């Protein structure tokens, strides 16, 4: 099987080559998949894509015209795919539903600790021989209320970690997690969670019902000075409204690993270029905002699981076996 990879980096090549025991012919392209680059798929049996590749109707039609019958998503989310068009064209989609929930949950905790104790600022100060503690005051996590929005695998692990700090955990989800209920986690309506929480962490998928779940109205419900964390999907947050919340002081701190307009920024080195996105430029101007570029998943364990699962998905398709990780239409 010949597979074309899009949006690839050096680490993709490293891990996929290491675990390619099936002997697939893998070709790595740095370009992002979109209408203009879809022609790179000519001559291949399958393609492999990542979170910011575009798989809209126009791209899928081109891929089908090139004979592509299966698309392997080396990620969990598939909100960048036109599912109806894929179904119409008879294209099979497979994904990696879980690769390291611990990695993402732990990164969310890292954002909280860094924002709270300002270790990034202290590090830079000390390197400049500035040993002052002025304006580095944080707060004890012990005893604080943490609101977890979405209690699937990642949200549940995050909740358990924060319980270890002595935090009170409250949660919101359409489906309540029995294990968290046994541990004493209290489920409540979103409004009540926002009103009570000192820290709000988002771990829900991007769906029509969760798009801009953090918006002008829900920000008003938040406890004044609360910290907001998002390691899930960028469009869960209305960024312009969050900026207003930061300016007013209603949001005390913001930590994000995802951004709703990230596809033109993240996974690229733009250090020698002018970033024309005024929204993220404004975010970067706040001293109480911490942004990482979609690296929450980025651990050895996660990259290993992504490679192994993606290659197994392609092998199962190639051998006509049941596809346990097929995206349901």
Q: Give the separation between CA 236 and CA 238, rounded to whole angstroms.
A: 7
In the sheet with 25-28, reading across from the earlier edge strand, the strands are 25-28, 2-5, 46-49, 70-73, 92-94
319 is an active site residue? no
Residue for token pair 């050895």: 300
Please tell me which residue in 32, 74, 203, 294 is annotated as part of the active site: 294
Please tell me which residue in 95, 233, 260, 263 is annotated as part of the active site: 233
Greatest C-alpha distance within the chain: 64
β partners of residue 255: 229, 290
Q: Give the separation between CA 129 and CA 278, rounded to whole angstroms.
A: 33
Phi, psi of 15 (to 5 degrees): -75, -40
Q: What angle do CA 315, 316, 317 make, to 5 degrees?
A: 90
Please tell me which residue in 32, 95, 262, 263 is annotated as part of the active site: 262
294 is an active site residue? yes
Residue for token pair 């590090």: 123
Asked if residue 190 lies in contact with residue 214, where contact means CB atoms within 8 angstroms, the answer is: no
Decide: helix, strand or coil at residue 161: helix
322 is an active site residue? no
185-210 core/surface letters (b: 16 or more CB in 10 A; e: else): bebeeeeebbbbbbbbbbbbebeeeb
Asked if residue 141 lies in contact with residue 111, where contact means CB atoms within 8 angstroms, the answer is: no
Sign of CA dihedral 274, 278, 283, 285: positive
Residue for token pair 């207003």: 244
Decide: helix, strand or coil at residue 240: helix
Active site residues: 233, 262, 294
């Amino acid at each position: 099987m010949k597979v074309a990879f899009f949006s690839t980096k050096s680490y993709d090549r490293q891990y996929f080559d290491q675990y390619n025991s099936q002997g697939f012919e893998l070709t790595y392209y740095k370009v992002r998949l979109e209408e203009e680059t879809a022609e790179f798929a000519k001559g291949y049996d399958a393609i492999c894509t990542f979170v910011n590749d575009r798989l809209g109707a126009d791209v899928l039609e081109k891929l089908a015209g090139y004979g592509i019958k299966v698309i392997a998503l080396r990620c969990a989310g598939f909100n960048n795919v036109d599912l109806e068009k894929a179904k119409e064209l008879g294209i099979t989609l497979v994904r990696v539903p879980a690769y390291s929930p611990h990695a993402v949950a732990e990164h969310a905790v890292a954002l909280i600790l860094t924002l709270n104790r300002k270790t990034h600022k202290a590090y830079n100060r000390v390197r400049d021989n500035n040993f002052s503690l002025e304006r580095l005051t944080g707060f004890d996590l012990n005893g604080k209320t943490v609101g977890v929005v979405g209690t699937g695998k990642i949200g549940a692990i995050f909740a358990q970690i924060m319980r270890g700090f002595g935090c009170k955990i409250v949660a919101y989800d359409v489906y309540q997690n029995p294990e968290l209920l046994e541990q004493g986690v209290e489920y409540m309506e979103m409004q009540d969670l926002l009103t009570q929480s000192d820290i709000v962490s988002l771990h829900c998928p991007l769906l029509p019902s969760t798009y801009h779940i953090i918006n002008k109205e829900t920000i008003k419900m938040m406890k004044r000075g609360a910290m907001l964390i998002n390691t899930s999907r960028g469009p869960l947050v209305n960024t312009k409204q969050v900026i207003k919340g930061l300016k007013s002081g209603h949001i005390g701190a913001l930590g994000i690993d995802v951004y709703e307009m990230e596809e033109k920024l993240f996974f690229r080195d733009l250090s020698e270029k002018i970033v024309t996105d005024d929204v993220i430029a404004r975010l970067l101007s706040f001293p109480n905002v911490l942004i990482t570029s979609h690296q929450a998943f980025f651990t050895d364990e996660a990259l290993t699981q992504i490679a192994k699962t993606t290659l197994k998905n392609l092998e199962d398709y190639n051998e006509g076996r049941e596809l346990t990780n097929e995206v349901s239409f």
